[in-house]
Structure 1
């Protein structure tokens, strides 16, 4: 004959509470990891953006200073050497100057007024070498170019610092 089997099933509340706490802890840890990862990603994005902007600043500074340097050499040689305008060296320097003009134009674009002013000055400097009587104006234009580019560089630098502070 079969004897009935009696089972007593009672809830083991301490075990249930510990298991629930472990699960809740895991969920909270996962949320914390997601938040920390998100903050780190945003910080890395800001740092990379600042790095690229800093490289842009250095490239613009280099291209403008090379443009002004070569422009000054041409200006001095045109003023001092008769017939320099017909020499091959003049055309080589003019070619290099045109390369820097294009680099500056491509870096700045023309969407902002101050950028278009810089591009206009660069184009005007390029046109002066056609007329030896206007060569003295080149120095004034180069100084104006330096001033306007310095303003753009300072603004870009402040922009980098502001973005990294946030």
Structure 2
């Protein structure tokens, strides 16, 4: 029996299969593959766009916090210096209150310096004006009107810095 099988295999002719391609199935399979590739590209694009916008939003949020901090520090600095001047003129300091307020004024000034660019003209003006405000807050010889003009000039410079920063924030979002 085994010899018969060997003989049949040896004399057997090759079998030819003739299968015609199923073109509709091939087209559908190709369309599904192409759709998958295009969907993947779309997902990558949307994900990348979302990451960029979230990054911009986070950067703008951090800049806004820094802007608010500078604004609060500048306002507190002017308030402390005005308090020093008022108490000095009224003679209402008790104990070492003057020293504490003076120290606070210098601390706030240092925070302002750390928050702005001191190498710009506005930065140099703010440095000069804050020094002058601290010195003149306890100087009786400086008239109130001159002191108030000095504060106005300092406020104008702070507004320049704050407006510039606000423009940076809004441009970062666009």
TM-score by length of 2: 0.82
Is this contact kept in 1: 2:80–2:101, CA < 8 A? Answer: yes
Match of 1:70 in 2: 80
Unaligned segments of structure 1, at least 5 residues: none
Match of 2:4 in 1: none
Task: State yes or no: 1:89 paired with 2:111.
Answer: no
Is this contact kept in 1: 2:126–2:158, CA < 8 A? Answer: yes
Return closer, same or farther for 1:70/1:105 CA change in 2, 3 Å cut-off: same
Alignment of 1:2-151 (within 5 A): 2=9, 3-4=12-13, 5-81=15-91, 84=93, 87-129=95-137, 131-134=139-142, 136=144, 137-151=146-160
TM-score by length of 1: 0.86
Return closer, same or farther for 1:12/1:111 CA change in 2, 3 Å cut-off: farther
- Aligned alpha-carbon RMSD (Å): 2.2
Distance 1:26 1:116 in 2: 60
SS of corresponding position for 1:105: helix
Shift of 1:9: 3.6
Is this contact kept in 2: 1:79–1:135, CA < 8 A? Answer: no
Larger Cα Rg: Structure 1 or Structure 2? 2
Shift of 1:129: 4.5
Shift of 1:135: 6.2
Distance 1:72 1:48 in 2: 36
Shift of 1:131: 3.7
Unaligned segments of structure 2, at least 5 residues: 1-7
